[in-house]
Amino acid sequence: METLHRQELANLLARPELRRLLEVFNGRTEETRVVGGAVRNALLGRPVTEVDCATTMLPDAIMGRAKEAGFKAVPTGIEHGTITVIVDGEPFEITTLREDVETDGRHAVVHFGRDFVRDARRRDFTINAMSLGLDGQLYDYTGGEADLAARRVRFIGDAHTRIREDYLRIMRFFRFHAEYAQGAPDPEGLAASGAERQGLAILSKERIRHELLKLLVAKRAEETIRILADHGFLTELLGGAAEFGRFGRVAADDRDSPVAIWRLAALAVGVEEDAERLRDQLRLSNDEHRKLAAYAELLSLLKTWSLPVDTAAIRRLVADHEPEALGIALAATAREPSPVVHEDAREALARYRSGTESVPVFPLRGADLIEGGVPKGPKIGEMLARARQAWLAEGCRTDEVYARDLLRRVLEQL
């Protein structure tokens, strides 16, 4: 068992914006507490960036009280009782206490209630179900504190039943395990997740995507991905094969600032078709898809790069490709037989990625050719393309002297 940071609960409550909020929303007949992730993270001594609250007040009353107090209130999810209240620029989500009335594996019909115990019991894991009162009292109805101290992610109540209420909890089980647990996953949760696995098929791709991308950047993503694979979840989630070695190398490389889409690339993209499939499978945005496609293209380039990759090659590569994607592709393939990469080439790439060296930009424009006497028309495009090939082969120079010489040579071809 590890110690928890009880003092952090007091520190959390000492934040002036949160204090003001709780003072306004607590009274003789109404009670509002901090709930869920904020309490969990404070106890772990981890940063608390989002504070959610639960309250006995009904949504209209929350809106009314916020207005009286001069807080901006936005009915972000008013149909399920959630209002965002902004205090001195800091947003808080306040949700009316709820109890599940009906569940079908993906949606729940909820009623508003006034009971903190019932609200805790409808949450997923014990570590996510604690609440904290304005007076500093920690309420733990499900044994969350002990599980948190043991770094254990456990369902509240019977795991099978809880999963059948909402199959997304399978994904959340692995996601929270990867982020907060130590040791092996809770055996009951793992067995129930395996047994109920087919239920994932009824979930929307968006919900799966959200949990999967969060899992990929969790502290113990690598181990947890292995567990997902060993228990037959991964192929279905990704719709294809997984590259564990590449994922591990990228995860070791980007530990301080992991980016989910690049980790997904390392794990699940081998060829360009993988990027197409994942776009569909996980409802990726155009930008996310573009990143996966760029990574795939670089992989195939690097795999067939016959010479060792040196600084000149890097310069040429970043002229055509996003430095970030190149960095991920090189990290992913670092211990593979090809490509062979010079140490100073990696350093050069680091400079392009950080922006200390700017990416070379092709120095000629159509206007330069027109000025040199080439008539407007398709010829311009062809000549520029040929000039660009020469520019890439000659080291992507961008100085004036080179640019003028290149223009002269292009015009001589006329």
Please report, as ranges, the residues that interact with ligand ATP according to CB under 6 A: 36-37, 123-124, 128-129, 166, 168-169, 172
Length of the chain: 414
Least distance to ligand ATP, CB of residue 166, Å = 5
129 lies in the binding site for Mg ion (CB under 5 A): no
Residue nearest to Mg ion according to CB distances in the complex: 37
**246 binds, options ligand ATP, Mg ion, none, Cβ within 5 to 8 A by partner type:** none
Q: What proportions of the chain, in percent to the nearest 5, are helix, strand and coil?
A: 55, 10, 35
Picking from 78, 99, 87, the residue whose alpha carbon sits closest to that of residue 51 is 87
CB atoms closer than 10 angstroms to residue 191: 14
Give the C-alpha separation, 156 to 162, whole Å.
Answer: 8
Segment contacting Mg ion (CB under 5 A): 34-42, 120-128, 144-152, 224-232? 34-42
Q: Which is nearer to ligand ATP, 168 or 313 (CB)?
A: 168
Q: Which residues pair with 139 in a beta bridge?
A: 131
When binding is defined by CB under 5 A, the residue of 9, 12, 26, 37 that contacts Mg ion is 37
Place of tokens 């089980």: 173
Place of tokens 């719709």: 239
**368 binds, options Mg ion, ligand ATP, none, Cβ within 5 to 8 A by partner type:** none
Residue nearest to ligand ATP according to CB distances in the complex: 37
Picking from 93, 95, 103, the residue whose alpha carbon sits closest to that of residue 120 is 95
**98 binds, options ligand ATP, Mg ion, none, Cβ within 5 to 8 A by partner type:** none
Q: Which is nearer to Mg ion, 41 or 333 (CB)?
A: 41
Q: Which is nearer to ligand ATP, 141 or 244 (CB)?
A: 141
82 lies in the binding site for Mg ion (CB under 5 A): no
Least distance to ligand ATP, CB of residue 86, Å = 18
Least distance to ligand ATP, CB of residue 47, Å = 10
Following DSSP, what letter does each residue of 338-353 receive, concatenated? S--B-HHHHHHHHHHH
Picking from 383, 356, 347, the residue whose alpha carbon sits closest to that of residue 367 is 383
Least distance to ligand ATP, CB of residue 238, Å = 21
Give the C-alpha separation, 302 to 221, whole Å.
Answer: 26
Least distance to ligand ATP, CB of residue 363, Å = 47
**168 binds, options Mg ion, ligand ATP, none, Cβ within 5 to 8 A by partner type:** ligand ATP
User: What's the start-to-end Cα distance of the chain, in Å?
Assistant: 78
| Structure-block tokens of residue 126 | 């014990």
**124 binds, options Mg ion, ligand ATP, none, Cβ within 5 to 8 A by partner type:** ligand ATP
Give the C-alpha separation, 137 to 48, whole Å.
Answer: 18
List residues binding Mg ion (CB under 5 A). Answer: 37
